[in-house]
Amino acid sequence: MYELNAETFIRSAEPIAVSKRIEDKIKPFCHSVSVRRGSTFFLIADGEIIFKQEKNGISIFISAQTIVDLYGIRTILSYYVCLEITLENIHWRESRKLLLKHPDEFLFSIRNYPL
């Protein structure tokens, strides 16, 4: 698990097709790609990206080690999303979700951090 997390939701009439096209563009940057529990996990040098196709769009979760890594990953993803979908901007927010790694699978769960 990494220190910094961000997430966004992209509305799309065709979430599966759009998600696949974006995923194909980011695969060259990845060390590994896996699909677990309906989500696609991309492991890159300094973080992770998770795509989850929803009924009316795509949820994207980013986890990174440093703020520079987080903004770099976020910028690349925003660029590829904007190539596929006409958007004025993408609203990224700090995420309170943790990516818990177990030996056999990944879990995407919500935890409340103490403030």
**115 falls within a domain:** no
pLDDT for 68 equals 92
**54 falls within a domain:** yes
The predicted-structure confidence for 8-48, as pLDDT tens digits, reads as follows 888 888 888 888 898 899 888 888 888 888 888 998 888 89
**8 falls within a domain:** yes
Task: Residue 62: name the closest of 21, 19, 54, 70 by CA.
Answer: 70
Number of domains in the chain: 1
Distance in angstroms (rounded) separating the CA atoms of residues 34 and 24: 13
Q: Which structural domain, as residue segments, surrounds residue 20?
A: 4-110
pLDDT higher than threshold 70 for residue 54 = yes
Within 8 A by CB and 6+ apart from 91, the residues are: 8
**39 falls within a domain:** yes
Which H or E run includes 62? strand 57-64
CATH number at residue 77: 3.30.310.50
**25 falls within a domain:** yes
